[in-house]
Structure 1
Amino acid sequence: MVESRNEKVTIRDVAELAGVSHSTVGRVIGNYGSVSEKARTRVMTAIEKLGYSPNAVAQSLRNKKTNTIAVVVGSIANNFFSKVIGAMENVTTSQGFNLLICSTHEDIVTEVRHLQNLQRKRVDAIIMSSLQTNVSAADMGLYNSEIPIVYIDYSIPNVPHDLVESANFKGTFEATEYLINLGHRKIGAMCTPQFPTVKQRFEGYCAALKKHGILFEPSLVVNRQYHSENAGREMVKELFLLNDDITALLILNNNLCDSTLLALRDMNKNIPDDISLITWDDTSLNDLLEITTIAQFPELIGKVAALQAIKRVQEVNSGKISQERFVKTLGTEFRIRKSCKAL
């Protein structure tokens, strides 16, 4: 009689105790193929008696499945992405998948390295917010691999994978037009060029100015790489140094909001008496300070992206892969509070 050896127990031991072949034990564990109910019961009894636990890594190599979905984002400390990931985890856990979280720290080289590692690990799908604007030929295999990829926030133009995004252009257009209708003409915009979504928002800003016949002034736009928590301070000071007649400010990346507020305080600029202010993404602080915002719905983005990733995994497993690209653009909500005034 075979004795229990806990983690040292092998399929051979289970087969011996159950009186069946190794392949029968494998079919029961993997839940595939044809096995009589009598044999299945004997195998399950032997597994329980011996305390056998299948090697998950070995199983994934045999099945070419890991039950793991990876998510790659710029920063897990970012309030927006933390909510996105939380919603994804709720979905993946409920569907029996593990969620592997990777942060690029807003660096393209790190992003490429994560993709290389994830493909070596054979994750079942990848959900990512990419910094790429145009993938090089050398890296194309990473971004256009057989592993399903669902993009959030932004889709790389030459890589036609699934996409879940917010209405970046429309949301900023609406906010800019709101300021124009309040009588503002000198509207400053704070941009961070390494984020492709900010480019879409900037285009919405420009389109609203054009619609209302307002000449675009380059000096009203500060376009800097986001490199630290103090980036907003530097950008605001530059804007007012070049334009002392700015009446409104549009922040196209909420990472800049906190330091912008500090800079305005240092300059004795009161909101909204001295400067009207609108920022992207709603936070508890924006609500507390009654700042008008263009709100996204990160939990919904995470949920939709995770469900689509799981759908793609199921298609791969069934061999019935849809060639139709999934694109979902979610609306934003313009939340008017007390940070803007009419002129």
Structure 2
Amino acid sequence: MPFTIRPVNEMDIPFLWEMLYQSIHVPEGEKPPGRDILRYPSIAQYMQNWGRAGDLGFVAVDEQGERVGSITCRLFQAGSRGYGYVDEDTPELGMAVRPENRGCGVGSLLLETLLAEASARGFAAVSLSVDSRNPALRLYERHGFREVTRSGASLVMAVGLSSRQAAPLASCHGPGGEASRVFLRPLVMKDAPALLELMVRNRELFEQVVPVRHELFYTLGKQEDIIRNSEKARMEGSRYAFGIFLRETEELIGEISLFEIMRGALQRAFLGYCLDERHNGKGLMTEAVSQVLDFAFREAGLHRIEAGAKPSNPGSLRVLEKAGFQKEGLARQNVKINGKWEDHVMYAILASDPRG
């Protein structure tokens, strides 16, 4: 796995101070403040006496065990408000990732981890302060944060935790730039009945292109396990799976995932997907692939995405070609499906390639 998220410990405190400095947004063209800004009471209060009641934090580490980012939240009193203060019961969040590790999905992993833990601890909401010119604003919006107050370019935002669901991907456009008819988001436990219905309804179709599935697969408990395991894999950065939803009705109509993710010198993953037969031939999967490629290249920091389809599946071949994938050859006897080794036409797309 490329990154691991773990709770803050006492040995991390110097790193948290460094991340506090890194979290200060510097508009383009302006000079960064001196490090003595960390001694200003309004800044230092975010880290002084770390470990007091209500403090919560996590650190992201890479495969070599090096810290690459952190996220914290802390309660403030009305007499010593933070920049993102809402009330005395709402902790304020602060997050930073080392510049060289940005764009790799670290921020999303940190944010998802902290919000889940804050909810488990009984907090009703979490707030933050962000400059409207800070690119991180889009990340916060995707995770449900909404503006509470504004003063110039400074926004106070908050997200309620009781009704929060997994955040949809940022992209809302199809491959040609038009508004997309679908959106993607990670599946959550409440999606399990709809996921089971999708799989049962399309069993005959899907089993033509996937390895053998046992009867247990077609049970609610198994689909709940799949969602639970997908959430764990997403937190580890080893697999990113999303439901495909119709934007108009929010109906779950398919799945799409990046799996077998390889980091280091490779930075690649495989793409897989399935779509409800009722919606085939409408271009919806092409829109979903476009969105997941935006995530793969812009957020997950991947360089190359590979995909394959049976030669007898022209619809899937067209989806890949329309999305900008380039044909690279034939993988003979590539996957065993229904007891038979099947060939696959192999495609790939690079982050630098033109998109469909």
Please, what TM-score do these two structures have when normalized by structure 1? Answer: 0.25
Relative to its length, the structure with more strand (as a share) is: 2
Question: With CA pairs under 8 Å and 6+ residues apart, which has the higher RCO, 1 or 2?
Answer: 1
